[in-house]
Amino acid sequence: MAKLTDPVTSLKGVGPAKAKLLQALNIFTLGDLICHFPRGYEDRTRESCIADLMVDKPACFRAVVMSTPRTAHIRKGLDLTKVQVADHSGKLNLTFFNSRFAAENLEYGREYVFYGALSGDYSGYGITNPVFELPEAPAVATRRVMPIYPLTAGLTNAAMAKLVGQALAVCDPPEEILPPEIRKSYGILPAEQAYRAIHRPVDMAQAEQARKRLIFEEFFVFSAGLALMRAARAMKKVPAYGDLRMEEFYQCLPFALTGAQKRAVEEILGDFGRGTPMNRLVQGDVGSGKTMVAAAAAYCAARNGAQTALMAPTEILAEQHQQSLARLFAPLGISVALLTGSQTAKEKREIRQRIASGESKIVVGTHALISESTVFANLGLVITDEQHRFGVGQRSRLSAKGEAPHLLVMSATPIPRTLALLMYGDLEVSILDELPPGRQKVETFLVGEAYRARLNAFIRKQVAEGHQAFVVCPAVEENQELGVKAASAWAQTLQQTVFPDLRVSLLHGQMKGSEKEAAMAAFARGEADVLVATTVIEVGVDVPNATLMVIEDADRFGLSQLHQLRGRVGRGSAKSFCVLTTHNRNPETLQRLKALCKTNDGFRIAEEDLKLRGPGDFFGSRQSGLPAFRVADLSMDMETLRSAQQASKDWIESFGQADTPEGRALRQRVRVLFDRAEGTMN
């Protein structure tokens, strides 16, 4: 018996050339072939007689060849073979293009099973290029459900089906990971059956069952992985924080916390008092005040003698957090250190020393700087801001470390509940569903090119009132074909022809890290009136003086991303605006964009976005930190996800510690999946 890890070249008829074709589909081993699932099926099980065939409805029928096939050479490269067939109900003309196979194999007087669709008009009906085989031969191309595979140039569907069949003939499919109890209670096929049936179902119902099982399996592995992570952390003991008094902190705040913020803080304090590491996600729309919740957590940790690391995705965000936290904590006698790449080696060394000695209680920095080589005296709490860059793999690595600090993940992207459940199955969730009082809605408009002059005047007006404006473009370089406004070209146009008297600056992702930071910082200091940028500004820098967000070619962005961008304004006391421009006339696209004008509720927008674009696009697949699912389509299979998640919970509870073959196989699969997720993260 061959093994799943054997190379495809171990199959008969697979040489280096074919192996190369398969590589293009990420197929290297027999296991990869077996896991190369059909993307759909063609149901060839319907049988009919000639008289009952219907136009454009493919079917199988048995018929006898009534004439010797005749081939006519029409022109170079085009041979037509014609033959007449008949059954008890009628006669039919068949035509084949360039088919030597038909010309040579269809025998006068013999019966075949054909499969094809009737076509025709007043001049007569017939079938073009039907497939056929002998009734006594095994059903390969007729009387069955044909799998349709994802393919690559040079590889036909029939060839792919054959290769998968060969692999399944010499090799057992992947091991069973679902214990019999779970298969029974969820009505799930055994692995062996499912892996075979998905490639060769007897009917569509069985294909569906096999698909269901494999989706279930995929979700089961993933959520069991998260649950195992969670269980492993729950086993760890950390000293429960004895001092949970917050009055002093609250007295220092310039405002009262919102009800949602208070609730989140209470939940965090509850975790701190429990004696096991916290795993919590704080989810809140832009401006809901997540930083204060983080600050409250850091304060409590500091009171209990523990250090906090606050990790931000960019240096400038780290700096901003450090400044606001330092201001907040100064009266409380807690110092807040900053650790960034642009500091000198000497500065960094000194700061690291203070962290190692335990003198610095709160450290703010970028992920890399804090996680790499920084040694803490007593790290009690890790907070990561802007979670979607902090994926499953990183979380699992963090919890695998010797000590188990409390973990607080802050998400600025409102994620639909269903998806949050999937991405953060290992975390408890606190939701900030309330904005601080007095917050004004960002007035949002959708305009076409006809409004350009008015838009320019509006930008001018905002600047004249002492405010600043963002202009976001979808690309860096001009792209003629798409007609998309590129940031650098547009910045030049605005500065030279439209606003020669204003200060226009530029920020895009292809600039060096330090240049980006400098441009952003200068804008935040008010040294430019208009900042033309790509989506690099999406992630959180606070410029309260910016009151206008213009998004060019808004149809090129996802709704959630637009919402995120819009969140860059409306952070000060002045009324703020968002203007979406588009050339697009597609009613559906316009409808989608208008949804944004109507609501400021990030969760509703996120749900809408998930429905329209699916989860892959939702975060940009590279950033989600989610593994790639092979069979599952997250927007369609939520029901299966829920039951798989329930099943994995039940499983961990009743068998999590037991050493069973399924358990071992499952753990192995989890390791592979999470390692792969790690590789997809930035």
Q: Which does 102 bind (CB under 5 to 8 A by kind): ligand ADP, Mg ion, none?
A: none
Please, are residues 474 and 553 in contact by the beta-carbon 8 Å criterion? yes
Q: Which is nearer to ligand ADP, 541 or 673 (CB)?
A: 541
> CA 392 to CA 312: how far, in whole Å?
17
Q: Which of 130, 287, 414, 416 binds ligand ADP (CB under 6 A)?
A: 287
**What does the block give as tokens for 186?**
């969820």
Q: In whole angstroms, how close is the CB of 411 to Mg ion at the nearest point?
A: 10
Q: Which of 289, 365, 425, 474 binds ligand ADP (CB under 6 A)?
A: 289
Q: Which of 255, 330, 653, 668 binds ligand ADP (CB under 6 A)?
A: 255
Q: Which is nearer to ligand ADP, 142 or 258 (CB)?
A: 258
Q: Which does 255 bind (CB under 5 to 8 A by kind): ligand ADP, Mg ion, none?
A: ligand ADP
Of the candidates 53, 68, 85, 61, the one whose C-alpha atom is nearest the C-alpha of residue 135 is 61
Q: Which is nearer to ligand ADP, 256 or 464 (CB)?
A: 256
Q: Which does 101 bind (CB under 5 to 8 A by kind): ligand ADP, Mg ion, none?
A: none
> CA 5 to CA 588: how far, in whole Å?
47
At what angle are helices 191-199 and 204-235 packed, to 10 degrees? 140
- DSSP code string of 594-646: HHHHH---HHHHHHHHHHHHHHHHHH-TTTS-PPPPSS--TTT-HHHHHHHHH
Q: In whole angstroms, how close is the CB of 325 to Mg ion at the nearest point?
A: 12
Q: Which is nearer to Mg ion, 540 or 602 (CB)?
A: 540
Beta 307-312 vs 362-366: how paired, if at all?
parallel
Q: Which residues between 506 and 545 bind Mg ion (CB under 5 A)?
A: 540
Q: In whole angstroms, how close is the CB of 554 to ligand ADP at the nearest point?
A: 21
**Site residue total, ligand ADP (CB under 6 A):** 14
Q: Which is nearer to Mg ion, 147 or 540 (CB)?
A: 540
> CA 107 to CA 110: how far, in whole Å?
6
Given the rule CB under 6 A, which of 56-64, 282-290, 514-522, 603-611 is the region that contacts ligand ADP? 282-290
β-bridge partners, 578: 444, 549
Given the rule CB under 6 A, which of 63-71, 255-263, 552-560, 596-604 is the region that contacts ligand ADP? 255-263
> CA 616 to CA 339: how far, in whole Å?
34
Is 288 a residue that touches ligand ADP (CB under 6 A)? yes
Q: List all residues 6 or more positions away from 17 whose beta carbon is below 8 Å from its beta carbon.
A: none
Q: Which is nearer to ligand ADP, 281 or 455 (CB)?
A: 281
Q: Which does 31 bind (CB under 5 to 8 A by kind): Mg ion, ligand ADP, none?
A: none
Q: Tell me the CA end-to-end span of the chain in Å, nearest whole number.
A: 40
Is 431 a residue that touches ligand ADP (CB under 6 A)? no
Q: Which is nearer to ligand ADP, 60 or 546 (CB)?
A: 546
β-bridge partners, 382: 309, 407
Q: Which is nearer to ligand ADP, 288 or 535 (CB)?
A: 288
Strands, sheet with 530-533, edge to edge from the N-terminal-most edge strand: 443-447, 577-581, 546-551, 468-472, 530-533, 504-507
Please, are residues 524 and 482 in contact by the beta-carbon 8 Å criterion? no
Q: Which residues between 433 and 452 bind ligand ADP (CB under 6 A)?
A: 436
Is 160 a residue that touches ligand ADP (CB under 6 A)? no
Q: Which of 337, 338, 412, 494 binds ligand ADP (CB under 6 A)?
A: 412
> CA 272 to CA 267: how far, in whole Å?
9
Q: Which of 81, 142, 223, 258 binds ligand ADP (CB under 6 A)?
A: 258
Q: Which is nearer to ligand ADP, 291 or 561 (CB)?
A: 291
Of the candidates 420, 392, 321, the one whose C-alpha atom is nearest the C-alpha of residue 618 is 420
**CA pseudo-torsion sign 435, 440, 446, 449:** negative
Binding site for ligand ADP (CB under 6 A): 255, 257-258, 261, 284, 286-292, 412, 436
Binding site for Mg ion (CB under 5 A): 540
